Amino acid sequence: MRIALAIAIKDIRQWTRNLPALMFGLAAPLVLTALIGLAFGGFSGGGAPELQPISVRAVNLDVGAGSPPVNLGEQLIQTLQEPGHASLVEITLAADEATARSAVDRREADAALIVPAGFSVAVMSTGDQRAEVVLYHDPGLVWRLPILTGAVQGVLDAYSGSRVAGLVTAAQMASRGASDEAIASGAESAAVQYAQTATMPLVGMKVESLSRPAAEGTAAILAEVCAGMLITFTFFTAATTAETILKEDETGTLRRLFTTPAARTTVLGGKLLSVFLVTLLQASILVIAAALLFGVRWGDPAGVFLVLLGLVIAASGMSVVLLSFARNTREAGYLIGGALSILGFAGGLFTTGFQNIPKVLDTVALFTPQGWAMRGYKLLLRGESLPALLLPAAICAAAGAVLFLAGSLVFRRRYA
């Protein structure tokens, strides 16, 4: 054990002197987390994430109706420009329909809102004429489209209500034997009155948010992003440390170690121990740094240790088995980069914080140690108790142990 420990301590010393390894293993995950944090709108001290408003070119061809005249097209556009909508929709007026549509075609705007001529007349009509506006949009809007249609539909719903009011008024007046002229005038008057309440709906909803500030929700997402980075780079550090077995083979130091009285299994054991210890050291530093720099609240220290241990065992095992397939450091480079990127994505490390991820990816993640490590960290960050963390940690450790054993056997056979 003394010999194995001496090899591991030597490797740790070399790791701490390897500036590129330190930059990659420690600085890169922290910088990436910081950049992703900025993309999400800042960390716990910052505000809620800012949504880019949808750019809309609006053209109103409506001239209004009623007496006094009311222009519902103009009212629609003004309503969308009010502060309640301004953070979601950015309205710019266009001269005509062609200009508005062309702005979308040229990707200068996300959508064009066209209010046709006679829109007000159609809304106030007592006939079965349908009143509608046209929304022409870029297909790239995707999930932001419902935000825009929701905002427009909210106003249109009020207009629907005004039309219903006009129709009801007309029906009531007809049943009392009012003249056609009186009916039309009454219905129009009712519709106009109702339509004017479109900006102040009588029926609505009161939106209540969870009592914690929005920034805290963002911080929770960022903590998960940070965990994803931690897991990603822990696997990479484990692999590059395991790569030193091949490097020592190429530089002749491994052969020289085999000429000492230390048994080959002890020498290899020392190299494998160094993979575990370097990875543990790196992951621990990252956990502490994330707490200090980004205010990540990892939770119960015992849980943090448990999940970290599972991660380090999984990363060590994965690295040893990966490197056992490589004949030299050149092959190892390709293997590490390719395999860990694919497994990292499959494990959900790069998509954490994203919403509406297909469920199938959650299932795929369960087949990777990275996925279970991520699951452990998510539970940890949500404040789950120790027993809840046991399953992901145990699966990580078990997978790591099996991979470690398989890789060790290959290395033992190679150097026996």
Partner 1 sequence: MTDQDAPAIQVSELRKHFGAVRAVDGVSFTIARGQIFSLLGPNGAGKTTTISMLSGLLTPDGGDAVIAGYSVRRQPQEVKAAIGVVPQDIALYGDLSARENLLFWGRMQGLSGAELRRRVGEVLELVGLAERQNERVDRYSGGMKRRVNLGVALLHHPQILFLDEPTVGIDPQSRRSILDGIKDLNRQGTTILYTTHYMEEAQELSHRIAIMDHGKIIAEGTHDELVRIVGEQTRVTATLADASPDTLRRWQELPGVTQVRSEEDRVNLLVTDPGRVLPALFEAASGTGGRITSLSIEEPDLEMVFLHLTGRALRD
Site size for partner 1 (CB under 8 A): 20
Q: Measured from the CB of residue 223, what is the shortest distance to partner 1 in angstroms?
A: 35
Phi, psi at residue 415, to the nearest 5°?
Answer: -105, 10
Nearer Cβ to partner 1 (20/204) = 20
With CB under 8 A as the contact rule, the residue among 215, 262, 285, 335 that binds partner 1 is 262
With CB under 8 A as the contact rule, the residue among 197, 251, 363, 385 that binds partner 1 is 251
13: how many CB neighbours lie within 10 A of its CB? Answer: 10
Angle of helix 264-294 relative to helix 28-39, nearest 10 degrees? 30
In angstroms, rounded to a whole number, what is the distance separating the alpha carbons of residues 191 and 123? 8
Looking up tokens 């241990």, which residue turns up? Answer: 309
Q: Measured from the CB of residue 247, what is the shortest distance to partner 1 in angstroms?
A: 10
Kindly provide the b/e burial profile for residues 215-242, where b requires at least 16 CB atoms within 10 angstroms of the residue's own CB. Answer: beebbbbbbbbbbbbbbbbbbbbbbbbb
Interface with partner 1, residue 255, by CB under 8 A:
yes
Q: Measured from the CB of residue 255, what is the shortest distance to partner 1 in angstroms?
A: 6
With CB under 8 A as the contact rule, the residue among 257, 273, 287, 289 that binds partner 1 is 257
Interface with partner 1, residue 263, by CB under 8 A:
yes
CB 292 within 8 A of CB 377: no
In angstroms, rounded to a whole number, what is the distance separating the alpha carbons of residues 54 and 141? 9
CA 43 to chain centre: 15
In angstroms, rounded to a whole number, what is the distance separating the alpha carbons of residues 290 and 284? 10
Q: Measured from the CB of residue 395, what is the shortest distance to partner 1 in angstroms?
A: 37
With CB under 8 A as the contact rule, the residue among 107, 256, 327, 330 that binds partner 1 is 256
In angstroms, rounded to a whole number, what is the distance separating the alpha carbons of residues 181 and 178? 8
Q: Measured from the CB of residue 251, what is the shortest distance to partner 1 in angstroms?
A: 7
Nearer Cβ to partner 1 (5/178) = 5
Q: Which stretch binds partner 1 (CB under 8 A): 46-54, 222-230, 245-253, 387-395?
A: 245-253
Q: Measured from the CB of residue 332, what is the shortest distance to partner 1 in angstroms?
A: 19
Q: Which residues bind partner 1 (CB under 8 A)?
A: 2-3, 6, 10, 13-14, 17-18, 251-253, 255-263
